[in-house]
Amino acid sequence: MKSFLFLLCTATFATTVVAATFDSVDGPPVELDKLEVNAAKEAVFSLPLDSNPATGSRLGLANRDLPASVSIVTQEVMQLRGLRTAVEAVEAAVGMTGGTSFGSIPTYSTRGFGSNSVSVMRDGIRQNTASQSSRTIDSFLLDRTEVLKGPASLMFGEGAVGGAVNYLSKTPSATPRGDLLVSAGSWDTYRFGLGWGGPLPVGPNASPVLVRADYSHSETAGYVDRNAQRYDAGALAFAWQATASLKLSLNISYLKDWNESYYGNPVVYDAVVNTTIAGAAPEVRLFNSATDRLVNPRVDPAARRTNYNILDNYAKTENSFTRLRAELRLTPDLDLRNETYAATQLLKWRNLETNTWNPVTQLVTRSSFLHIYRDDILSGNRLDLIHRGTIAGRPNRVIVGGFLERNNLVRGGTPAGLATTASSVTLLNPTETTGPGNGDDFLKSSHVFIDTAAFYAEDALDLTSRLKLVVGLRHDTIDLTRDALVTPTNPVRTTYAKSYSPWTGRGGLVWSVNKDLNLYASYSRAAEPTTQLVSFTATSNDFALQTGRQFEVGAKGSLVGSKVDFTLALFDIEKNNILASTLDPLTGVRISQQIGAQNSRGVELAVSYAPATDWRIEANVAWTDAWFGSFAENLGTGVIDRTGNTPSNVPEWVAGLFVNKRLPTGFAANAGLRYVSDRFGNNNNSVVADGYTTLDAGLSYTWQRAVFTLRGRNLTDAEYESVVGTTMRRLADPRSVEVSARYSF
């Protein structure tokens, strides 16, 4: 079915563009989109102000001309810093924190927002919400990662109040080039990557077809017991200048992963204190996140490597992304761009997901046994018309476009009648057991269709030679249908439907003070569902979309004869219509209403400095003040006010420093420091994850076309959580070492 759908989309699209190959319109060659070709890069720093980020605008504006914050981490920067995954690459951007959560799902936080408020795309395709479809990706496959800060609905639709992360694949170039990577490190960790790109001649009178093919493999036994992981991925890209005015391109990628999850170490504690009662005495009982504070919380060092999974746990997925694209120059000032895309996901997941310390029994309680099944097919078609001209004699660039897409999702879970808990075990010697039932038996419980039609327009007008107006508006029509399938616990098939029609957009001014310094101010809006759309049920029917808005001012520029590049941003974000608990004034019954608000404000600064050709220094710092403007949550029998509290997993400070020095002997040395301040693990702000500082350092030697590197990670041996929990801490890897070799041919 998936193959048929892809072929149908491809055939439909090809029929649309084949006639254009006979187009006889004269004019200069097509101006190729930066997403499709490898233009000359500013490989020196991770602040390429003159590049054209595909994530910030569809108009092809330079980063310094955007009234928004866009961080770019190129493949060159990934190699230099030893960034192995997309998560590590994204964390190199200013103000970003990330980590890999359960089942190898990356999660990000920025500007006071995380989880599904930060969308994740692959080459601009968002298959679903971040927690449903994003997977770990080896950085070898990527050309760059781009991060758009703040509300991003203009670019990527519903969601993305906090920002959007875009993984961009390597693309073909006219210059033949190959890359080979091998590495080995602690805990039987291995990586391998092989890729090549260049022109393929197709005939004596035809332009060549540019091709790029890449493959990556990574695996590890994991620092924690029974935490093996394996990732394989391949990518293939073609680009063909069919005529002087038509370019065709095809991108295909396929990812497959398998892992035994590490869900976290139980937090051992001596007692709890009820924070809602003044002067409450410590009690030896189970922890309640809504009301309690832990007394002497800790991870027992002797249990640091212990895994409490069932023996037959696993999480495995297969994901694919395909895009067929045509760019046609109708006139010297008018371009037509059309793309058909498809993405698929098949996920199977089985485990006990909760390991909780019981201070009364001095045992670890294991619960939340889950089977998770997902089978998704996303297909769509996008059409853009781009015009470059003038308005009242002033240069103007405008794009008008839209798309239609369908997300076809099957969801399933644990078969009826299976136990959802297992026996309690000791902290240091847990009894290894298998899960109940057949490990490959999944109960398909629902079939969800999400149909989206969108229209958008974006315009960049030079009001004067120094002042640019950039505005964009978008309207989405979202129709959701959920069929609850017949199961042993649901004998009647029911259908639920919901529709939304949000307007979102962004507007801003960019003032060029001089050729090296731009100042900007912008306002943007986003819309986000109260929960991920695929999970909507009849209980969500009365809820509107949450809305987000951001004010941002900033500066981007170069100083000291272009030896220093910098970006500075000040932002203020408010997210409204958040679900909050309240009590019915007549009945006293607890109900949910959209009366909550979440706010954040802050400053982000990134600086890169090249005092000499053999030096590279980069630093960034972000300060964020986040709070609930209005919020109350369920207390069990009532509600509790959280207004003024800090949302979970939001650090006040995130800072980084990276220094690289090339030596005249062919050696180079580099080091990177990263600091993340304390974060709260719950809305009660009673669980605190301590801040941490990590140090990575590397020594490399270049011999002809090969680079050999010895790298140490987390040399401070900091014990920290990349994603904050409450009664479980999923700790990052301790000190480790790796050796690698990269060869270009």
Q: What is the per-residue DSSP string for 102-170?
A: GGGEEEEEETTEEGGGEEEEETTB--S-HHHH----BGGGEEEEEEEES--HHHH-S--SSEEEEEEE-
3-class state of residue 86 by DSSP: helix
Q: So what's the pLDDT on residue 531?
A: 84
Q: What rounded mean pLDDT belongs to the chain? A: 89
CA distance 117 to 596: 15
pLDDT digits (tens, 9 = 90+) for 48-70: 898 999 999 999 999 999 999 99
| pLDDT at position 261 over 90 | no
Regarding pTM above 0.85, the answer is yes
Q: Where are the domains of the chain?
A: 2-203+220-363+370-744
Which residue is associated with the tokens 């004998």?
Answer: 491
CA distance 76 to 552: 30
pLDDT digits (tens, 9 = 90+) for 220-231: 999 999 999 999
pLDDT band, very low/low/confident/very high, at 19 (cuts 50, 70, 90):
very low
The 3-state secondary structure of 448-497, one letter per residue: EEEEEEEEEEEEEEECCCCEEEEEEEEEEEEEEEEEECCECCECCCEEEE
Give the Cα-Cα-Cα angle 98, 103, 106 (nearest 5 degrees): 20
> Span 230-246, mean pLDDT?
96
Identify which has the larger pLDDT, 663 or 159: 663
Q: So what's the pLDDT on residue 45?
A: 55
Task: Confirm if 149 and 111 have CB atoms less than 8 A apart.
Answer: yes
What fold does the segment set 2-203+220-363+370-744 form as a domain?
Maltoporin; Chain A (2.40.170)
Neighbouring C-beta atoms of residue 644, cutoff 10 Å: 11
Give the Cα-Cα-Cα angle 327, 331, 336 (nearest 5 degrees): 30
Q: What is the per-residue DSSP string for 205-254?
A: TSPPEEEEEEEEEEEE--SSTT--EEEEEEEEEEEEEEETTEEEEEEEEE
pLDDT band, very low/low/confident/very high, at 714 (cuts 50, 70, 90):
very high
Task: Confirm if 546 and 527 have CB atoms less than 8 A apart.
Answer: yes
